[in-house]
Structure 1
Amino acid sequence: MRDPVQQSLAALAQLVDVRVPEGTALGNWRWTVRQRLAAVREGLANETAIANDGWLVARESTVLRERTALMTRLGALGPAVLQDADINRVRGELKRIIADVDRHQQRLRDIAYDDVEIELGGSE
């Protein structure tokens, strides 16, 4: 089962990849995208530190700083989704933030894997 951030991110990506509607439907699309952005941001806010080893803690603190920057970008993108007249620019920004959050999530999974490998005495 995927974590809530991955589920929210997948739902957002699916919405961004569809053809953008026009007229009243565009307003509905914008609002739905805004709600999904908020769900991704909330999921990021709920991340906690998991590393126990010194060098992993350092890596994790870098990833958590990255998370803070992503949350700032998500917060700034929310109003743009609702108000920006250039919908193609908004979609481009959305695709970039989706890719960046996905990479962030992969870094967290890598840290968790390395932490378990250290505990089990990995192949070194």
Structure 2
Amino acid sequence: MLMTCRDTIPADPDSGKTLRDLLAARPPSDQGLGAWRWQVRRQLAPLRDVLVSPAGPAEDWLAARRGGCQRKRTVLVRRLAELSPRVLHDTDLERLSSDLRHLLDDVRRHEQRCNDLAYDEVELELGGSE
């Protein structure tokens, strides 16, 4: 199963801002802070949807790697669940933004590992490189 990281999809199609853009450009004043928080929170939902999407069946020889991928996904979903309410209430925006950027980086690495696993499954079906 190929996953697609949604941190590159704009929160607001008219603004063209992604979650990563929103984290980098926090509002300088308290006036836009509420709107910024809601935009960030809305961007977390598609990220969660990608993480909780079910994985396809694995070949026997890939079962251990698939299990590891699923365990890592569980950890990422838990971290996302812990960060989500903080978006609306946390007063330390620097730390919150840093935690969210680290989560996005970890999701991207996880996504790559899962894509590698899917590639290995297809390579096995096609006969490999021999």
Q: Hey, what does 1:9 align to over in structure 2?
A: 7
Name the TM-score, length of structure 1 as normaliser. Answer: 0.87
CA distance in 1 between counterparts of 2:49 and 2:68 reads 19
Identity %: 43
Give the gaps of 5 or more residues in structure 2.
9-17
CA distance in 2 between counterparts of 1:14 and 1:114 reads 33
3-state SS of paired residue (2:32): helix
Q: Hey, what does 1:44 align to over in structure 2?
A: 51
Q: Does 1:111 align with 2:129?
A: no
Runs of 4+ in structure 1 off by over 4 angstroms are none
Tell me the CA shift for residue 86 of structure 1: 0.7
Letter matched to residue 41 of structure 2: R
Report how many aligned residue pairs link the two structures: 119
Deviations 1:55-109 (A, max 9, x none): 2121011101110110010001011111110100001001100000001100110
Give the gaps of 5 or more residues in structure 1.
none
Tell me the CA shift for residue 14 of structure 1: 2.4
Root mean square deviation, CA, Å: 1.7
Give the conservation status (yes or no) of the 8 Å contact 1:50–1:112: no
